[in-house]
Structure 1
Amino acid sequence: MIKVGSDSGNLPLGQIQEKQNNLLEKLASGKKVNNALDDASAQQIIDRLTSEVEGSRQAINNVYDGISLAQVAEGGLGSINDDVNRIRELTLQSGSGILSSGDRRAIQSEITQLQENITQTIEQTNFAGKPLLSSDGELSFQAGANSGQSISVGTQDIASKLSGVLSIDITSGTSVDEALNAADEAIEVVGGARGDLGATQNRFESAARSLTQSNINTAEARSRIQDLDFAQAASERASNDVLGQAALTVQAQANQQEGQVLSLLS
């Protein structure tokens, strides 16, 4: 007895259509793993790598914020250093015995303007509202995707350390020796602070290079697992189209034969 039915034809056709839908989804997204149904273990790895990539990307942004902050602070210190050097030069000039009291007042007038410039620079050297030269402390930047990967930028109360140079007054009792000593101490303080910032910038830049390379490597690893081989997928789709057409033909023939058999039996 011949058993006639459509179940044997529908199953292969259904599988072909399901595969076709899956291929179309992959081609549309550009990914060979779109969800855990495609590959549960691969999806778990992809999620972990994605977290690392995004974390590293934000850490890189943080690092460049740190570099910018250090550059702003170093720029302020550079301006202060120039003013202190000019004060020292004027102090030496005031040590000439041929100067009159009027000459000394003119020199002190310029020194006072430089002192005001230094004070103003200290007050205005800020980054995102954070004072960099007017208080002692540190600002921390997360410089990695994991805990414990931070870099700190130290801030200093520069004004308190430059009190000597800021109080120089060659017209009211400050001797040349006292003024020179105060200027030399100020230059040393500023130079030390700039050196610290330079070392911190180098550390930030090293972290940025390392993070960037690590992020590239992690993204490439994720891509190898996640990204679709378009040529292969397109080939599979074309092959699946052929199988689908063949399955439809077989199904149509099976339906026609079923009709003929039923007609004979009736």
Structure 2
Amino acid sequence: MSVINTNITSMIAQQNLSSSKGDLTTAMERLSSGLRINSAKDDAAGQAIANRMSAQVTGLAQAQRNANDGISIAQTAEGGLNQINDNLQRIRELTVQAQNGTNSASDIDSIQQEVNERLAEINRIADETDFNGSKILSNSSDTSLAIQVGAQDGQQISIEIKGNSDWNLKSNGTTAAGSLASVNGEARTVDAEGFDVRSAAATTVSLAAGVVANAESDASTASNTFATADLVSYSDASGKTAYAVVDSDATPTGAAVGVTFNDDGTYSIGEALTGANKTLAENVGATVADAATVNTQGGSNALQTLDDALKAVDNQRSSLGAIQNRFESAITNLSTNETNLSAARSRIEDADYATEVANMTRSQILQQAGTSVLAQANQLPQSVLSLLG
């Protein structure tokens, strides 16, 4: 059938030319972007899968940075603890030196001065050890820093740091109140009301100082009767002892007697009982000596306390070292997961250049052929004119 108005051959050529043009456009888009999926129409399911994988990949990359931050925090805390350890070692050395009986009072004072400065430096280090604005060694309670090391909820590693409220180095003066109750002949009776030796009012230092507080211990209310030159003593459960020697000629005043235990291993009486040239004499057992005060009476306790402090610091340093190794392992695992997930996403989303170049070349040839064929198809209706003679 010969017609002029409808050129079917031309229409078919145009359709094929349009198709090859679309293929050429797609190939060039993929080659220019490097992606096989540039919009959801390219592969709807693949686009959704690749997008979820992209979220995982970016999350894993950020988790690696988080883990590195965790290592930095642990290193910062460990650095502060290292300096505190050095100060504690020096304090212990000075305490051992103070045990030597050849030291004069001036020598002891000089040693104590350096000990005090070292303690002040321990406090300063704890207060000023900072990471990104956070004081990581000066918290009053145990601190748990959660580091996100995964792309999903709950994938965390915690850095545990002990709070400084658990640690003391010095014990402040503690008071035991007593009163003269009665006098019968040469005997006297003293009631001890709530004799209490505790560390609750002690001067605290940071965790990093690592000095364990003495346990609180209360002695029961007691009553002792003593005669001439009797030795009156009060002891708590830990063996800390205070005692007083009283002469027989002491005249009772009926006033309350306040006994205060001091940091230096001595105690004082607020109001003495006096008689004819007689005074209530007082002393204190060596076990009451403050662990942070260097003296020849309380040195053994001081050394034990310092050993406990060093042990606590070492335990914290060991924990921080272990957590750094764990973070490094986590980073390696995260990197492996990121690599594998990126490879899987690439197989779905990225363009295969060999394939796309071949598609582009094919489409270019089809474009050239289609254009040539379309030109010839457009000339076909002219053959009808030959029928008109």
Q: What is the TM-score with the length of structure 2 in the denominator?
A: 0.64
Q: What corresponds to 2:12 in structure 1? A: 8
Between 1:100-109 and 1:13-22, the stretch displaced more is: 100-109
Per-residue CA distance 1:65-112 (angstroms, 9 max, x = gap): 111111111111111111101110111111122222222222222211
Which residue of the other structure, out of 126, 129, 141, is the alignment partner of 1:125?
A: 129
Q: Secondary structure at the match of 2:61?
A: helix
Matches for 1:134-213 after TM superposition, within 5 Å? 134-135=138-139, 136-158=142-164, 160-164=166-170, 168-170=292-294, 175-213=298-336
Q: What corresponds to 1:111 in structure 2? A: 115
Per-residue CA distance 1:126-162 (angstroms, 9 max, x = gap): 2112221122221111111112211111122236514
CA contact (8 A) 1:162 1:186 kept: no
Q: Secondary structure at the match of 1:133?
A: coil
Per-residue CA distance 1:156-195 (angstroms, 9 max, x = gap): 2236514246961226x87211221221111011111112
Q: What corresponds to 2:272 in structure 1? A: none
CA contact (8 A) 1:77 1:194 kept: yes
For this pair of structures, how many residues does the alignment match? Answer: 264
Per-residue CA distance 1:189-210 (angstroms, 9 max, x = gap): 1111112222222222221111
Partner amino acid for 1:205? E
Residues of 2 paired with 1:229 and 1:195: CA distance? 51
Residues of 2 paired with 1:99 and 1:193: CA distance? 35
Partner amino acid for 1:250? V
CA contact (8 A) 1:73 1:125 kept: yes
2:88 equivalent to 1:84: yes
Q: Secondary structure at the match of 1:2?
A: coil
CA contact (8 A) 1:81 1:190 kept: yes
2:84 equivalent to 1:75: no
Q: What corresponds to 1:99 in structure 2? A: 103
Residues of 2 paired with 1:263 and 1:95: CA distance? 130
2:41 equivalent to 1:37: yes
CA contact (8 A) 1:76 1:121 kept: yes
Q: Secondary structure at the match of 1:134?
A: coil
2:265 equivalent to 1:261: no
Partner amino acid for 1:151? I
Q: Which has the higher contact order (CA 8 A, sep 6+)?
A: 1
Q: Secondary structure at the match of 2:162?
A: strand
Partner amino acid for 1:221? A
CA contact (8 A) 2:23 2:359 kept: no
CA contact (8 A) 2:291 2:299 kept: no
Residues of 1 paired with 2:346 and 2:71: CA distance? 30
- Cα offset for 1:53? 0.3
Q: What is the TM-score with the length of structure 1 in the denominator?
A: 0.92
CA contact (8 A) 1:73 1:132 kept: yes
Partner amino acid for 1:215? E
- Work out the percentage of aligned pairs sharing the same amino acid: 38
2:62 equivalent to 1:58: yes
Residues of 1 paired with 2:310 and 2:168: CA distance? 9
Residues of 1 paired with 2:112 and 2:379: CA distance? 112
Q: Which runs of 5+ in 2 are unaligned?
A: 171-210, 212-289
Residues of 1 paired with 2:297 and 2:379: CA distance? 116
CA contact (8 A) 1:134 1:156 kept: no
Q: Which runs of 5+ in 1 are unaligned?
A: none
Partner amino acid for 2:104? S
Residues of 2 paired with 1:124 and 1:39: CA distance? 56
CA contact (8 A) 2:291 2:298 kept: no
More helix by share: 1
Partner amino acid for 2:82? G
- Cα offset for 1:27? 0.6
